[in-house]
């Protein structure tokens, strides 16, 4: 057999008293701690067998927590008087299957990242022992009881020993048997026992949350984390904002117009300080309106010579940056152009593609429509082009 996982769940969890249950059977957002820990290993293709060591009095709790796993989960075995002896009982139960390697893990560490388990396993290719560790971040003091400080322990080279702790199976089984036979039964982790036995153990620094549920505060924290998603984006409630924009530019002499970032040959051009892209201007105001951040004239004043003849996609791109700076995103945009000419339909998809590119969204989220005004008003008299736009923005509340 390749790899076995040995889950140590025999403790009584005396520091946590919640519903009278040992901590490994406490409910964490609908699942017992032990079941969450089992899931860390049960879903791995590189773990062949899982052995749990339990307190003999917890069989009912175990059966309830471990229901529904396949044959890869062995029947539980009863633990011993100390953690060390419980691990030995688990190793002896695995011995007939002769696994190549074993990962020993605390039942009370249900959050261990999959990468950490994989890293410890990988380290066993070049060492008989490997353990997950994280750096000591607090300054360590030595005191006289709770009394005055008698020294500060240099933090360099200090690591917090966690689990999983992986070993070549035959080596750690042999070390455990020798420790028991020598009457040394108080090792608090398997790496300490391995050191005692002269077995080399390497440190595998792991990242992420690998907390051991020990105190009532840990239980509260673990429950809070599971009911509140981890990422900032997820913890924020997203709200939907809508902004609208409107713009008009008059015709002047020329041979093309810019509309929605697309150049169209025409018998006249639109007059303006920039390239007079009425569609982009309306949409820029819609995006700015959705986030309540002024308007295009405020951010790019016509009095500023640097915007003379400017390509208007810069204005829309700036509005999109303002949305992103608030952690938001554009959901969709819709532009309506009002004019008798030029004909918009042949250019519609090119405009949609260009707007989608500037907005950073897919083309199916962009609408471009056109209408005449039936010969009425300034657009009907072909004096200029008007544009209306709506933008929807999703923003953390
Ligand atoms: Mg304008």
In 169-318, at which residue ranges do the beta strands (DSSP E only) sit? 201-205, 238-253, 256-259, 262-265, 268-270
Distance of CA 375 from the midpoint of ligand 1 (Å): 22
Write down the pLDDT at residue 238.
80
Query: Three-state secondary structure along 91-139?
Result: HHHHHHHCCCEEEEEECCCCCCCHHHHHHHHHHCCCCCEEEEEEECCCC
Measured in Å, residue 95 CA sits from the centre of ligand 1 at: 79
Task: Give residue 337 CA to ligand 1 midpoint distance, Å.
Answer: 13
pLDDT of amino acid 232: 46
**CA distances (Å), 321 to each of 104, 122, 242, 314, 316, in order?**
49, 43, 17, 10, 9
What separation in Å is there between the alpha carbon of 374 and the centre of ligand 1? 23
pLDDT for 144: 87
Percent of the residues in the chain that have a pLDDT greater than 90, as a whole number: 78
> What is the distance in A from the centroid of ligand 1 to the CA of 317?
15
Distances, alpha carbon 167 to alpha carbons 120, 236, 361, in Å: 9, 42, 50
pTM of the shown model: 0.59
- pLDDT the model gives residue 30: 85
Low-confidence ranges of the chain (pLDDT < 50): 230, 232-234
Q: What is the pLDDT of residue 90?
A: 98
pLDDT in tens, 59-114: 999 999 999 998 899 999 999 999 999 999 999 999 999 999 999 999 999 999 99
pLDDT reported for residue 233: 45
pLDDT of residue 304: 86
Distance 346 CA to ligand 1 centre (A): 23
Burial of 120 by CB count in 10 Å (0-12 exposed, 13-18 middle, 19+ buried)?
A: buried
Sorted by where each starts, the structural domains of the chain and their CATH numbers stand as 3-227 (3.90.550.10), 238-396 (3.30.1330.50)
Could you give the CA distance from residue 276 to residue 284 in angstroms, rounded to a whole number?
13
CA distance 167 to 165: 7
Predicted local confidence at residue 145, as pLDDT:
82
């Amino acid at each position: 057999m390749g790899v076995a996982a040995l889950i140590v769940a025999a403790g009584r969890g005396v520091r946590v008293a919640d519903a009278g249950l040992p901590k490994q059977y406490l409910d964490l957002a609908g699942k017992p701690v032990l079941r969450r820990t089992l899931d860390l290993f049960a879903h791995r293709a590189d773990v062949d067998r899982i052995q749990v060591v339990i307190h003999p009095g917890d069989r009912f709790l175990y059966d309830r927590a471990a229901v529904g796993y396949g044959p890869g989960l062995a029947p539980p075995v009863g633990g011993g008087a100390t953690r060390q002896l419980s691990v030995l009982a688990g190793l002896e139960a695995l011995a007939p299957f002769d696994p190549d390697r074993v990962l020993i893990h605390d039942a009370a560490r249900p959050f261990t990242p999959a990468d950490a388990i994989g890293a410890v396993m990988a380290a066993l290719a070049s060492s008989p022992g490997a353990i997950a560790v994280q750096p000591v971040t607090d300054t360590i003091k030595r005191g006289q009881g709770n009394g005055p400080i008698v020294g500060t322990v240099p933090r360099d080279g200090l690591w917090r020993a966690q689990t999983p702790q992986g070993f070549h199976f035959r080596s750690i089984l042999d070390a455990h048997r020798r420790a028991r036979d020598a009457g040394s039964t108080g090792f608090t982790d398997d790496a300490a026992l391995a050191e005692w036995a002269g077995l080399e153990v390497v440190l595998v620094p792991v990242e992420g949350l690998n907390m051991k549920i020990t105190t009532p505060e840990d239980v509260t924290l673990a429950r809070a984390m599971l009911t509140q998603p981890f990422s900032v984006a997820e913890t924020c409630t997203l709200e939907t904002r809508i902004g609208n924009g409107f713009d008009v530019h008059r015709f002047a002499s020329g041979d093309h117009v810019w509309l929605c970032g697309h150049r169209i040959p025409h018998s006249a051009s639109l007059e303006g300080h920039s390239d007079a892209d009425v569609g982009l201007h309306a949409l820029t105001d819609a995006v700015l309106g959705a986030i309540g951040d002024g308007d295009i004239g405020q951010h790019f004043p016509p009095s500023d010579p640097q915007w003379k003849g400017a390509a208007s996609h810069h204005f829309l791109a700036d509005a999109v940056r303002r949305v992103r700076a608030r952690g938001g995103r554009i959901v969709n945009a819709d532009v309506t152009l009002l004019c008798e000419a030029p004909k918009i339909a042949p250019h519609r998809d090119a405009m949609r593609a260009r707007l989608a590119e500037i907005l950073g969204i897919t083309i199916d989220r962009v609408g471009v429509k056109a209408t005449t005004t039936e010969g009425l008003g300034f657009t009907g008299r072909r004096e200029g082009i008007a544009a209306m736009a709506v933008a929807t923005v999703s923003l953390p509340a």
